[in-house]
Amino acid sequence: LQNIEVDENNPNYCDVDGVLYNKDMTELLCYPCDHDEYLRQKYGYEKELYRDEVTPEYERDIQTYVVPSTVKKLGEMCFNYANLRVIYLPEGLERIETLAVFKLHERVDQWGTTPSLHSIFSYKAEGIVDPHFTSQEALGEVYYSLPEGLKFIGSDAFSYNQNLQYVYIPASVTEIGHHAFWDCCYKEGSDIKGINVMNVGHSSEQFDALTVGDDWLPEYDHMLFKKPVEVKYSQTRAAMPK
């Protein structure tokens, strides 16, 4: 599925450049998993570019998505399996539902895929409807990771995104589902790649009071067992990467 078009007279749904929303655009319902093929045609890229050939321009036009500032909820499975490397979330987003950002990947060849999503940013700006990323300056204040005001992270919401480098969970979050960040890290020699530590804004006492599902943390191979990554409490967000 590359594109979704909704009749403008439909009372329940709308689309923005082929991505499905509810009518008032408070919920993102479906980013088609092959939407990158549509975008390649739209922006004049003649063929699919693979991991070692991706240019900054290609990542901007094809593999970056700005969720409009009206959106309060990422619906179930809305981004799963999409070929995206960067997502910008609006401050004001309240819920990330089950499997919403599950296993984002890029097709490498006929034998397999590789994880694609490497960064999640949040932004403060009103009136952002065009999902095509142009610059961070156009989004107002941009900061690293999940948005302030977020309340709910669903089960398997971010599972199998091993290319993610950093996640910060703001103190506004009250519930995290089971396996929310499952398999978002792996062992390479003695190094832990991907999300090797989980940063949260809550104190340890505040976090203990949350509703948290089983195995919500990334885990890596440790001797004969799986070991969850460390949780760092009372953190502030990291600076934006250069």
Sheet arrangement for strand 141-144: 64-66, 86-90, 119-124, 141-144
The pLDDT value recorded for residue 129 is 83
Res. 111 pLDDT band, cuts 50 70 90: low
Question: Average pLDDT in the 222-236 region?
Answer: 91
Handedness of CA 124, 128, 133, 138 (dihedral sign): negative
Q: What is the pLDDT of residue 242?
A: 81
Nearest to 198 by CA among 168, 221, 220: 168
| pLDDT above 70 (res 108) | no
The burial class, CB within 10 Å (0-12 / 13-18 / 19+), for 189 is exposed
* Mean pLDDT score, 172-195: 95
Q: Are residues 90 and 122 in contact, defined by beta-carbon separation less than 8 angstroms?
A: yes
End-to-end CA distance of the chain: 34
CA distances from 27 to 41, 104, 107, 153, 230 (A): 27, 19, 27, 15, 32
Residue 104 CA, chain-centre distance (Å), reads 8
The pLDDT score that the predictor gives to residue 46 is 72
Global pTM value? 0.94
pLDDT of residue 21: 98
For 106, counting Cβ atoms within 10 Å of its Cβ (0-12 exposed, 13-18 middle, 19+ buried), the class is buried
